[in-house]
Amino acid sequence: MIYLNGKFMPIEEAYIPVLDRGFIFGDGVYEVIPAYSRKPFRLARHLNRLQHSLDGIRLQNPFSDKDWENLLEQVIAKNEGEDQYLYLHITRGVAKRDHAFPVDVPPTVFIMSNPLLPPPAQLLVGGASAITAVDNRWIRCDVKAISLLPNVLLRQLAVDVHALETILIRDGFLTEGAASNIFVVKNKVLLAPPKSHLMLPGITYDVVLELAVANQIPHEIREISETEIRTADEILLTSSTKEIMPITSLDSKPVGNRKPGKMFTRLYMLYQQYKATHMRGHFPDAASS
């Protein structure tokens, strides 16, 4: 069951007009929110980021945070599975094709839920492979825009060679993955690229850094050079749907000793503990848990 413009319906019955600006221009934004034990994870942060994305494209938020929460709860209740991921999508609505914003047109609002499956155990134990590519996206990557063509093309480069992700490098420095954030570990220090307009401020990225602070894990938030990626002891990938995953091969070369490292194992365990706290009904920041 999905939500579309005020109604709940089976996804097979959901249609939008071809003049929707999401279809014509990719003119909209989205969010992906995991729900564990039917409770949205870090909802306030996702809704904050949604507001940031809407501000970035000058589209008014159709709902208050409370309304969003109610809607998401209803979508979760109408779908199967304790763990789901919610996909929210807002476009600038339906209007005659013209690049300029339409006047007085209601936005299209769509919410769906899909089962949230943990990453395959074989990738957590054995590690995953990634490739690198030049980050050729626009320079508002902090906006979670539905116009994802560059990300689609970049991610496909990885799929073409049976790798999990494409790690993006802009002007010699790490930005993020095509659909994830990336951390590097060197000499037992966790390195994270600083948030900027060149990357999506990941909600999972925040959890990892909060866990690092709370557990005295040495970390630095700073620019990471291509050389540092290529000589990393470990590379970690984070996203709402993949949580934390170890990257053990980069451009067909081993990362460290080609096995998931100590930093990955530690953060993975801490992340699972943090999730369990959330599922028991507490919603602390990792730093205070």
* Residues with catalytic roles: 144
Q: Which of 53, 113, 204, 248 binds ligand PDD (CB under 6 A)?
A: 204
DSSP letter at 83 equals S
Looking at the Cβ atoms of 237 and 250, the one nearer to ligand PDD is: 237
The whole-angstrom separation of Cα 151 and Cα 3 is 26
Stretch that binds ligand PDD, among 70-78, 117-125, 156-164, 238-246 (CB under 6 A): 238-246
3-class DSSP assignment, residue 26? coil
**Count of residues that interact with ligand PDD, criterion CB under 6 A:** 15
209 binds ligand PDD (CB under 6 A): no
b or e along 134-160 (b: 16 or more beta carbons within 10 Å of the residue's beta carbon)?
Answer: ebebeeebbbbbbbbeebeebbeebee
How far is the C-alpha of 287 from the C-alpha of 213, rounded, in Å?
7
Tell me which stretch binds ligand PDD (CB under 6 A): 17-25, 114-122, 222-230, 236-244.
236-244
**Nearer CB in complex with ligand PDD: 108/151:** 151
Q: Is 239 in the site for ligand PDD (CB under 6 A)?
A: yes
Residue 200 is a binding residue for ligand PDD (CB under 6 A): yes
**Please, which residue, 50 or 95, has the CB nearer to ligand PDD?**
50
Q: Does 33 bind ligand PDD (CB under 6 A)?
A: no
285 alpha-carbon distance from chain centroid: 18
Q: Which residue has the tokens 């600083």?
A: 194
Residue choice 107, 127, 202, 246 for contact with ligand PDD (CB under 6 A): 202
Q: Give backbone dihedrals phi and psi of 266, rounded to 5 degrees, phi first.
A: -65, -50
176 contacts ligand PDD (rule: CB under 6 A): yes
Whose tokens are 């494409």? That residue is 166
Tell whether residue 240 is a contact of ligand PDD (CB under 6 A). Answer: yes
Q: Is 241 in the site for ligand PDD (CB under 6 A)?
A: yes
The Cβ of residue 265 has, within 10 Å, a number of other Cβ atoms equal to: 15
Written as six digits, the tokens of 69 are 């929460």
* DSSP 8-state assignment for residue 141: T
Using CB under 6 A as the binding rule, whether residue 167 contacts ligand PDD is answered as no
Decide if residue 238 touches ligand PDD (CB under 6 A).
Answer: yes
**249 in Cβ contact with 127 (< 8 Å):** yes
Site of interaction with ligand PDD (CB under 6 A): 32, 151, 176, 179-181, 200, 202-205, 238-241
